Amino acid sequence: MTTEKEKNKKKRAKPFSKLLKIIVVFFTFSLLTVSALLFAVIYYNAPVQPVQNQFAPPQIDGITQNQDGTFFIEVRRGESAQSVGRRLESAGLIRDRHFWNLLFRLDSEHLKIGTYRLEGGESQLAIKNLLVSGRQILHKVTIPEGVTLLRASRILEEAGICSAQDFLLAAKDPETVSHYRIPGNSMEGYLFPDTYLFPSEFPASRVVRAMADNFFVRIERIYPDVAKMSMQELNDKVIMASIVEREYRAAEEAPVMAGVFYNRLRVGMALQSCATVEYIITEILGRPHPRVLYNRDLEIRNPYNSYMFPGLPPGPISAPGAVALNAAFSPAQTEFLYFRLTDVQTGRHYFSRTFDEHIRAGELVPKGH
C-alpha cells in the first residue's frame, strides 16, 4: 500500500522526468543542427575539381581556363562578391554561390580588383582569401614605341606572358578586330606601347584587349573629339602616326615630319618613307632588318611601298606612342616637303621646301654617314 510520502515523491519525479526529456531532445536537436551545419560547411566549402576544357569556348565571362588546368579570373572595378560568386559557380570552381555570399556576410572584407590565378580544386574559403588579399602574380613587360605585332609577340613570349604565336593569332582574330571596328585585318597600330603588368601564361586574347583598351583611352586624351571621327578617319591618323613613329628621333621634330607627310599627300606626291619599305622586308617578307635600303628595295611591288604607290599605305606599320600620335593629330603647319638626317647622334633633320634645297642639305651630313 502506497503511503502519502511515496505519492508526493512520485509527483515530484514527474516534472523532473519531463525536464530531462526536454533537455535530451534539445541537445539532440542542437547536435543534429550543428552536425548538419558542419556538414553543409564542409560540403559547400570543399574543393571542386573542374573538368578540363569544360567550356566552349574555354572562357566564361572573365574566367579563362588554361591548357594546364589552371584558371585566370578577373575581378572588375566595382564588381560585387555576389557577381563573382555567380561566375565562379558557372565555371564550376565553387559548389554553391549562396555559401560564397554567406562567407562575405560574415566579415567586412572586400574583393580587390585584378587578375588572379587559380590552380583549380581549391576550397571556397581559399579562393575568397586569395581574391581579398590582392596577391596577383604579375610580371612587368614593356612594349616599346614603334614595335610591330611580330616584335611585340616576341617580347611577350620572352617575358613568359603568352606565346608569340598565340599573340599574333589573337591580334589578327576577326572577332577582336571587328569588336574595335578596325578597318583592317589585324590590330597592328592599335596596341598601345606601354609598360604592362600581366600574369604569366596569360591568355593572349586578354593581352591584346588590354593593350587595345589602353590605346583608346590614350587616344581620347590626345584628341578628345575622337568619338566624332569615323573609324576610317581615325585609321588614317593612326597610319600616319605609325610612319612618323618610325621616322623621328627628336621628339620636337615629330610634328614637323607629320606636316611634311601631310604636305606630300596634299600635292599628290608619294610619301617616300623608308620605314614602309622596311616594314615590307621584315614583316611581310620575313627578312632581317636591312642596314641599308637599295634601289631594288624601293622597287618592291607591294601596297605598303610608299615610294611606288601614292597615298597612305593600307594599314599602320608600327605601334605609335603618344609623341607620334600627337604629331599625326596636330602636325606643324609648314611648307616643307623634304627632310634629311644631318646629325646621327642627336637624330636631327634638315627640313626643305624644294628638292634642290634637299639635295644641297646633303652637304651638311658628315662624311661616313
| Domains of the chain as residue ranges with CATH | 59-133 (3.30.1490.480), 139-222 (3.30.1490), 228-364 (no CATH)
| DSSP string over 286-322 | -PPPPSS--HHHHT---TT-TTTS-S--SS-SS---H
Highest mean pLDDT among 17-31, 50-64, 83-97, 225-239: 225-239
With a pLDDT cut of 70, the percent of the chain lying above it is 82
50/229: higher pLDDT: 229
In the beta sheet, which residues pair with residue 198?
139
SS3 at position 131: helix
For 66, how many CA atoms within 13 A lie in the half-sphere containing its CB? 22
210/137: higher pLDDT: 210
pLDDT tier, 12 (very low <50, low <70, confident <90, very high otherwise): low
Residue 18 is predicted with a pLDDT of: 63
pLDDT tier, 335 (very low <50, low <70, confident <90, very high otherwise): very high
pLDDT in tens, 268-297: 999 999 999 999 999 999 999 998 899 999
pLDDT in tens, 168-223: 999 999 999 999 999 999 999 999 999 998 887 888 999 999 999 999 999 999 99
Q: Report residue 21 as a C-alpha cell.
A: 526529456
Mean of the per-residue pLDDT values of the chain: 85
pLDDT tier, 132 (very low <50, low <70, confident <90, very high otherwise): confident
Residue 10 is predicted with a pLDDT of: 55
> How many whole angstroms separate alpha carbon 332 and alpha carbon 253?
9
What share of residues in the chain are helix, strand, coil (percent, to 5)?
Answer: 50, 10, 40
Q: Over range 93-117, report the average pLDDT.
A: 84
Is residue 342 pLDDT above 80, yes or no? yes
> How many whole angstroms separate alpha carbon 241 and alpha carbon 330?
11
Is residue 339 pLDDT above 60, yes or no? yes
Q: How far is CA 20 from CA 12, 23, 33, 227, 326, in A?
A: 13, 5, 20, 79, 86
What is the CB neighbour count within 10 angstroms for residue 340? 16
